[in-house]
Structure 1
Amino acid sequence: MSLPNLHRNTWLHIGAALLLALVAMLLIRLHYANGATPAADSVQAGRRLAEAWCSPCHAIDANGARSQTTTAPDFVAVANMPSTTELALKVFLQSSHPTMPNVILTAEQRGDLVNYILSLKRS
Protein backbone atom coordinates (compact mmCIF):
# COMPACT_ATOMS: atom_id res chain seq x y z
CA MET A 1 0.00 0.00 0.00
CA SER A 2 1.39 3.37 -0.90
CA LEU A 3 1.76 6.19 1.59
CA PRO A 4 -1.14 8.32 0.18
CA ASN A 5 -3.53 5.34 0.37
CA LEU A 6 -2.43 4.58 3.93
CA HIS A 7 -3.03 8.23 4.87
CA ARG A 8 -6.47 8.22 3.23
CA ASN A 9 -7.45 4.95 4.97
CA THR A 10 -6.42 6.39 8.33
CA TRP A 11 -8.65 9.42 7.78
CA LEU A 12 -11.51 7.16 6.66
CA HIS A 13 -11.19 5.15 9.88
CA ILE A 14 -11.09 8.30 12.00
CA GLY A 15 -14.12 9.71 10.15
CA ALA A 16 -16.05 6.46 10.57
CA ALA A 17 -15.21 6.35 14.30
CA LEU A 18 -16.36 9.95 14.77
CA LEU A 19 -19.59 9.28 12.88
CA LEU A 20 -20.25 6.19 14.98
CA ALA A 21 -19.62 8.17 18.19
CA LEU A 22 -22.02 10.93 17.08
CA VAL A 23 -24.74 8.42 16.23
CA ALA A 24 -24.29 6.74 19.62
CA MET A 25 -24.56 10.09 21.42
CA LEU A 26 -27.70 10.95 19.44
CA LEU A 27 -29.32 7.63 20.30
CA ILE A 28 -28.47 8.06 23.98
CA ARG A 29 -29.92 11.60 23.93
CA LEU A 30 -33.11 10.40 22.23
CA HIS A 31 -33.48 7.61 24.78
CA TYR A 32 -33.25 10.02 27.70
CA ALA A 33 -35.43 12.63 26.01
CA ASN A 34 -38.27 10.12 25.62
CA GLY A 35 -37.80 8.07 28.76
CA ALA A 36 -36.81 10.51 31.45
CA THR A 37 -39.36 12.11 33.72
CA PRO A 38 -38.83 15.85 34.08
CA ALA A 39 -38.24 17.20 37.56
CA ALA A 40 -41.40 18.19 39.39
CA ASP A 41 -40.02 21.70 39.92
CA SER A 42 -39.70 22.19 36.16
CA VAL A 43 -43.28 21.04 35.59
CA GLN A 44 -44.57 23.35 38.34
CA ALA A 45 -42.54 26.28 37.00
CA GLY A 46 -44.01 25.57 33.56
CA ARG A 47 -47.52 25.57 35.00
CA ARG A 48 -46.89 28.96 36.62
CA LEU A 49 -45.65 30.33 33.28
CA ALA A 50 -48.72 28.92 31.53
CA GLU A 51 -51.03 30.51 34.11
CA ALA A 52 -49.31 33.88 33.75
CA TRP A 53 -48.83 34.07 29.99
CA CYS A 54 -50.92 31.45 28.22
CA SER A 55 -54.19 31.14 30.13
CA PRO A 56 -55.89 34.23 28.64
CA CYS A 57 -56.15 32.32 25.33
CA HIS A 58 -55.47 28.64 26.11
CA ALA A 59 -57.07 26.22 28.52
CA ILE A 60 -53.89 25.14 30.29
CA ASP A 61 -55.25 22.02 32.00
CA ALA A 62 -58.19 19.63 31.76
CA ASN A 63 -60.36 21.87 33.97
CA GLY A 64 -59.25 25.24 32.59
CA ALA A 65 -61.46 27.70 30.84
CA ARG A 66 -60.23 30.07 28.18
CA SER A 67 -61.47 33.16 26.49
CA GLN A 68 -64.48 32.53 24.28
CA THR A 69 -63.07 34.87 21.63
CA THR A 70 -60.12 32.66 20.75
CA THR A 71 -59.59 29.45 18.87
CA ALA A 72 -56.33 28.67 20.65
CA PRO A 73 -55.98 24.94 21.32
CA ASP A 74 -56.03 23.71 24.89
CA PHE A 75 -52.78 22.33 26.27
CA VAL A 76 -54.19 18.84 26.93
CA ALA A 77 -55.12 18.55 23.24
CA VAL A 78 -51.68 19.83 22.22
CA ALA A 79 -49.93 17.36 24.55
CA ASN A 80 -51.88 14.45 23.09
CA MET A 81 -51.31 15.20 19.42
CA PRO A 82 -49.19 12.45 17.83
CA SER A 83 -46.81 15.09 16.45
CA THR A 84 -46.13 16.68 19.84
CA THR A 85 -42.58 16.07 21.03
CA GLU A 86 -40.20 17.98 23.24
CA LEU A 87 -38.30 19.19 20.19
CA ALA A 88 -41.45 20.20 18.29
CA LEU A 89 -42.70 22.28 21.22
CA LYS A 90 -39.34 23.97 21.76
CA VAL A 91 -39.11 24.90 18.08
CA PHE A 92 -42.71 26.16 18.12
CA LEU A 93 -42.02 28.33 21.17
CA GLN A 94 -38.96 29.85 19.51
CA SER A 95 -40.87 30.80 16.36
CA SER A 96 -43.00 33.85 15.77
CA HIS A 97 -46.70 33.22 15.12
CA PRO A 98 -49.09 35.92 13.87
CA THR A 99 -51.94 34.75 16.12
CA MET A 100 -49.85 34.73 19.30
CA PRO A 101 -48.21 37.51 21.30
CA ASN A 102 -44.46 37.68 20.94
CA VAL A 103 -43.49 36.21 24.31
CA ILE A 104 -39.74 35.86 24.71
CA LEU A 105 -38.74 32.93 26.91
CA THR A 106 -35.35 31.94 28.21
CA ALA A 107 -34.16 28.42 27.39
CA GLU A 108 -35.00 27.36 30.95
CA GLN A 109 -38.51 28.86 30.79
CA ARG A 110 -39.09 27.21 27.42
CA GLY A 111 -37.99 23.88 28.89
CA ASP A 112 -40.27 24.31 31.91
CA LEU A 113 -43.27 25.17 29.74
CA VAL A 114 -42.57 22.21 27.44
CA ASN A 115 -42.23 19.88 30.45
CA TYR A 116 -45.56 21.14 31.79
CA ILE A 117 -47.35 20.63 28.47
CA LEU A 118 -45.88 17.15 28.06
CA SER A 119 -46.95 16.29 31.63
CA LEU A 120 -50.55 16.60 30.41
CA LYS A 121 -50.13 13.71 27.97
CA ARG A 122 -52.49 10.84 28.66
CA SER A 123 -50.85 7.41 28.82
Structure 2
Amino acid sequence: MVMTGLSMAQTAPDVQRGRVLADTYCSMCHSIDKVGPSPLSIAPPFRELHESYPVEALEEALVEGIVTGHPSMPQFSFDPDQASNLIAYLKTLE
Protein backbone atom coordinates (compact mmCIF):
# COMPACT_ATOMS: atom_id res chain seq x y z
CA MET A 1 0.00 0.00 0.00
CA VAL A 2 1.39 3.37 -0.95
CA MET A 3 0.24 6.21 1.28
CA THR A 4 -1.14 9.18 -0.56
CA GLY A 5 0.02 12.69 0.23
CA LEU A 6 -3.19 13.34 2.12
CA SER A 7 -3.00 10.24 4.30
CA MET A 8 0.73 10.80 4.97
CA ALA A 9 -0.02 14.39 5.96
CA GLN A 10 -2.61 13.14 8.46
CA THR A 11 -0.20 10.62 10.02
CA ALA A 12 2.01 11.42 13.01
CA PRO A 13 5.64 12.16 12.03
CA ASP A 14 7.06 9.20 13.97
CA VAL A 15 4.62 6.85 12.23
CA GLN A 16 5.54 8.36 8.85
CA ARG A 17 9.23 7.80 9.55
CA GLY A 18 8.52 4.26 10.71
CA ARG A 19 6.58 3.54 7.54
CA VAL A 20 9.52 4.76 5.43
CA LEU A 21 11.91 2.52 7.41
CA ALA A 22 9.62 -0.47 6.97
CA ASP A 23 9.31 0.21 3.27
CA THR A 24 13.07 0.71 2.85
CA TYR A 25 14.40 -2.19 4.94
CA CYS A 26 11.59 -4.70 5.36
CA SER A 27 9.12 -4.68 2.48
CA MET A 28 11.25 -6.87 0.22
CA CYS A 29 10.31 -9.80 2.47
CA HIS A 30 7.50 -8.70 4.82
CA SER A 31 4.06 -7.40 4.05
CA ILE A 32 4.15 -4.02 5.78
CA ASP A 33 0.49 -3.20 5.11
CA LYS A 34 -2.86 -4.14 6.62
CA VAL A 35 -3.60 -6.54 3.75
CA GLY A 36 -1.72 -8.79 1.36
CA PRO A 37 0.80 -11.58 1.68
CA SER A 38 4.48 -11.14 2.44
CA PRO A 39 6.69 -11.30 -0.67
CA LEU A 40 8.73 -14.00 1.13
CA SER A 41 6.31 -16.63 2.40
CA ILE A 42 8.28 -17.39 5.59
CA ALA A 43 8.41 -13.71 6.59
CA PRO A 44 5.42 -12.87 8.78
CA PRO A 45 3.27 -9.91 7.75
CA PHE A 46 3.91 -6.99 10.08
CA ARG A 47 0.19 -6.74 10.85
CA GLU A 48 0.40 -10.15 12.57
CA LEU A 49 3.43 -9.48 14.79
CA HIS A 50 1.31 -8.24 17.69
CA GLU A 51 -0.49 -11.61 17.74
CA SER A 52 2.72 -13.33 18.84
CA TYR A 53 4.10 -10.75 21.31
CA PRO A 54 3.86 -7.06 22.19
CA VAL A 55 5.57 -5.12 19.38
CA GLU A 56 7.15 -2.85 22.00
CA ALA A 57 9.28 -5.86 22.94
CA LEU A 58 10.99 -5.57 19.54
CA GLU A 59 12.42 -2.13 20.23
CA GLU A 60 15.48 -3.32 22.15
CA ALA A 61 16.19 -6.03 19.58
CA LEU A 62 15.93 -3.49 16.76
CA VAL A 63 18.59 -1.33 18.43
CA GLU A 64 20.88 -4.17 19.49
CA GLY A 65 20.59 -5.83 16.10
CA ILE A 66 18.26 -8.58 15.04
CA VAL A 67 20.50 -11.43 13.97
CA THR A 68 17.72 -13.54 12.52
CA GLY A 69 13.97 -13.54 12.66
CA HIS A 70 13.67 -16.17 9.94
CA PRO A 71 16.39 -18.18 8.14
CA SER A 72 17.00 -15.76 5.27
CA MET A 73 16.63 -12.53 7.25
CA PRO A 74 19.71 -10.29 7.06
CA GLN A 75 21.27 -8.90 10.21
CA PHE A 76 20.53 -5.23 10.81
CA SER A 77 20.11 -2.67 13.58
CA PHE A 78 18.52 0.74 13.97
CA ASP A 79 19.38 3.70 16.15
CA PRO A 80 17.00 4.28 19.10
CA ASP A 81 14.94 6.92 17.25
CA GLN A 82 14.54 4.69 14.21
CA ALA A 83 13.50 1.74 16.37
CA SER A 84 10.95 3.91 18.17
CA ASN A 85 9.56 5.14 14.85
CA LEU A 86 9.29 1.62 13.47
CA ILE A 87 7.46 0.49 16.61
CA ALA A 88 5.06 3.45 16.26
CA TYR A 89 4.31 2.31 12.70
CA LEU A 90 3.88 -1.33 13.72
CA LYS A 91 1.34 -0.28 16.37
CA THR A 92 -0.82 1.26 13.63
CA LEU A 93 -1.17 -2.22 12.11
CA GLU A 94 -2.61 -3.84 15.25
Provide TM-score, normalisation by structure 1: 0.56
User: How many aligned residue pairs are there?
Assistant: 80
RMSD: 2.0
The within-5 A match list for 1:1-123 is 40-67=12-39, 69-79=40-50, 81=51, 83-86=53-56, 88-93=57-62, 94=64, 95-97=66-68, 99-121=72-94
Structure 2 spans left out of the alignment, 5+ residues: 1-10
Name the structure 1 match of 2:6. none
The percent of aligned pairs where both chains have the same amino acid is 35
8 A contact 2:55–2:90 mirrored in 1: no
Q: Which has the higher helix share?
A: 1
d(CA) in 2 for partners of 1:116 and 1:50? Answer: 8
**CA deviation string 1:10-45 (max 9, x = no partner):** xxxxxxxxxxxxxxxxxxxxxxxxxxxxx8100110
**CA deviation string 1:50-91 (max 9, x = no partner):** 001100110001134432x44010011113x162141x1113
Structure 1 spans left out of the alignment, 5+ residues: 1-38
